[in-house]
Amino acid sequence: MKILLITTPKEGECVEGATPAYLLYDFSNYPPLGLLAIAANVDSRHELEVLDTVTKNMSIAETVEYIKKAKPDLLGLSVASRRLYPMKAVTARIKEELPDTAIIVGGAHPNEFGMQTMELGTMDYVMSGYCELAFPQFIENLDKIRKGEASKEIMSEVPGLYYRLDGQIKFNPEDEKAQSLDHLPFPKRDLVDLNDYFTAADKERMTTMFTSRGCPYKCTFCDVTEKQYHYRSTKMIVDEMEYILSLGIKEIHIFDDTFNLNRKRVIEMCNEIIRRGVKVRWTARVRANPLDREMLLLMKKAGLSRLHAGIESLDPAALIAMKKQITLEHIKDFFALCKELKINTLCYMILGFPEETREYRETFFKTLKKLSPTYVFINVLYPLAKTKLYDDLVANGFYPRDLWDDFFRNPVPNFELPPMRTPELQKEVVELMDNVHKRFYLSPSFIIQDLRRNMNPKMLMRKAKMAMRLIFANTLQENANGSHHSSPFPAKTSAY
């Protein structure tokens, strides 16, 4: 069979108002690891292609034309909730113009809203859960059906699959997720152009990898719903690092939800890297706690160059209310230790928590600078679906009904959930986000230090582009220009 797997184009995606475009699309571009992972075990007799429409900045129309020319037997799309409208637009067009092409949809959105996705009616199949093994099984069953060797009933064998049979939507329960992830294959990274992926903080070509999945913490704003912790063995982690290095990639970003959750596992991984003599630069997403000097020293010896830390707020009351389970002292100790050991940091922050005061916002930049982060990445608090933050807003009557559910059942272009704060406060918070980014990244001290860290000509061009966008950045105006379909059910004036 001819198989085409694509990322969903970003045209018409939700206007979240949480992350500015200059960070979302200019600071980094990560490979579609999910698609590359499910492709790994597909039998080589099939012709398989991966198209990253987001990286290629393709519109809905351009994506449709590409698919029409390719004429795949199977089209697979990976979709996050914010790109539900372009996914539906693409699949509706393909279903109309290529009726013999089977369509399957997976990704972060179907993992949580599989039935609603299937009920949109523009695809033949939806797959949820860990799909590295289920997807190749689905391919073989589909091939048998297309050849007339089996009936559609055999789709009942594929775990996590939604499909139609006799006019009804059927769902096969997902397989129980093992705690160990060692049975899953390495993503097939050679299916994409590895030169397309970067972060503005890295010196050379980079890629991402996972050493674990899931996060047991229950932060009120976070939409990570996998609360069980699944992990890979030290051997498998370092084996994949060696495989990545063989592709000519020198930098790896460990994309775990919480890399440092298990201290023993981190220590063992670092010792194995050192024992094998693997020369690799790597970064990881971590919490400010747990972390200690011995652990950090070993991580640096094993090639650690930067830590991405989800700090979220410097307001003690906000940290408690969001159930972050870290304190201001944890945060200060984390940055002090990284600074002492000369480990770069990227600090994720969120503005707009209800506990914030005007004084907090007025002193935010000064307080943030005292921590000496190498990079900052600031969002505005936004109520995502299936978070406690959003559920409480619905339960308390701020939103008159579940507006996300309305959107999931009837996706519209450029959907915008009404802000959870007054227009005046929303303006203040978004402008503060833009101004802090400008003051931080356009300061002479940052520019000089960053040039010393990285003189790669290609990366300098990307950073120059980002700087120009940042100089003229106005996220409020950009969101207003992009938003044409806010919810028809208005919220109250303010949740706080």
Question: Mean pLDDT across the stretch 41-68?
Answer: 98
For position 487, what pLDDT does the model report?
Answer: 44
- Least confident range from 247-251, 397-401, 492-496: namely 492-496
pLDDT band at 469, cuts 50/70/90? confident
For position 458, what pLDDT does the model report?
Answer: 72
pLDDT band at 489, cuts 50/70/90? very low
> Which H or E element spans position 50?
strand 47-51
Q: Kindly state whether residues 214 and 159 are assigned to the same domain.
A: no
For position 451, what pLDDT does the model report?
Answer: 85
Question: Mean pLDDT across the stretch 431-457?
Answer: 89
The CATH number covering residue 383 comes to 3.80.30.20
Percent of the chain with pLDDT over 90: 84
Q: At residue 265, does pLDDT exceed 80? A: yes
SS3 at position 6: strand
State which of 171, 198, 226 marks the end of a domain. 171
SS3 at position 305: strand
Closest CA to 459 of 450, 471, 468: 450
- Least confident range from 232-241, 283-292, 450-459: namely 450-459
Q: Kindly state whether residues 397 and 431 are assigned to the same domain.
A: yes
Cβ atoms 129, 175 nearer than 8 A: yes
For position 204, what pLDDT does the model report?
Answer: 81
pLDDT band at 283, cuts 50/70/90? very high
Q: Kindly state whether residues 357 and 447 are assigned to the same domain.
A: yes
In a domain, 496, yes or no: no
State which of 140, 171, 202 marks the end of a domain. 171
For position 482, what pLDDT does the model report?
Answer: 55
Decide the pairing of beta strands 2-7 and 74-78.
parallel
For position 481, what pLDDT does the model report?
Answer: 62
Q: Kindly state whether residues 128 and 277 are assigned to the same domain.
A: no
Cβ atoms 389, 220 nearer than 8 A: yes
Q: Kindly state whether residues 201 and 164 are assigned to the same domain.
A: no
- Least confident range from 131-140, 194-203, 221-230, 354-363: namely 194-203
Distance CA 231, CA 269 (A): 12
- Least confident range from 23-27, 206-210, 355-359, 379-383: namely 23-27
Closest CA to 21 of 60, 59, 63, 54: 54
In a domain, 475, yes or no: yes
pLDDT band at 478, cuts 50/70/90? low
For position 17, what pLDDT does the model report?
Answer: 63
For position 483, what pLDDT does the model report?
Answer: 47
Q: Kindly state whether residues 167 and 226 are assigned to the same domain.
A: no
Q: Kindly state whether residues 156 and 303 are assigned to the same domain.
A: no
Q: Tell me which residue range forms the domain holding 94.
A: 2-171
SS3 at position 393: helix
In a domain, 491, yes or no: no
Q: At residue 466, does pLDDT exceed 80? A: no
For position 459, what pLDDT does the model report?
Answer: 72
| Angle, CA 448 vertex, CA 447 and CA 450 arms, to 5° | 65
Question: Where does residue 456 rank: exposed (0-12), middle (13-18), buried (19+ CB within 10 A)?
Answer: middle
In a domain, 184, yes or no: no
Considering only residues 456 and 216, tell me which one the structure prediction assigns the higher pLDDT.
216
For position 477, what pLDDT does the model report?
Answer: 66
Decide the pairing of beta strands 198-199 and 28-29.
antiparallel
Distance CA 423, CA 407 (A): 23
Distance CA 179, CA 213 (A): 9
Beta bridge partners of 312: 349
In a domain, 493, yes or no: no
The CATH number covering residue 21 comes to 3.40.50.2300
* Stated pTM of the model: 0.93
Q: Kindly state whether residues 293 and 167 are assigned to the same domain.
A: no
Q: What is the pLDDT of residues 132-151, one digit of tens each?
A: 999 999 999 999 999 999 99
Q: Kindly state whether residues 229 and 144 are assigned to the same domain.
A: no
Q: Kindly state whether residues 251 and 136 are assigned to the same domain.
A: no
Structure tokens at 41: 């075990």
State which of 171, 197, 221 marks the end of a domain. 171
Cβ atoms 337, 291 nearer than 8 A: yes
Average pLDDT, the chain: 93
As for how many domains the chain has, the answer is 2
In a domain, 329, yes or no: yes
Considering only residues 472 and 142, tell me which one the structure prediction assigns the higher pLDDT.
142
Question: Mean pLDDT across the stretch 201-225?
Answer: 92
In a domain, 164, yes or no: yes
Q: What is the pLDDT of residues 118-128, one digit of tens each?
A: 999 999 999 99
Q: Kindly state whether residues 296 and 442 are assigned to the same domain.
A: yes
In a domain, 297, yes or no: yes
Question: Mean pLDDT across the stretch 294-312?
Answer: 97
Q: Kindly state whether residues 197 and 161 are assigned to the same domain.
A: no
Residues 162, 163, 169, 171, CA torsion sign: negative
Question: Mean pLDDT across the stretch 240-269?
Answer: 96
Amino acid identity, position 493:
T
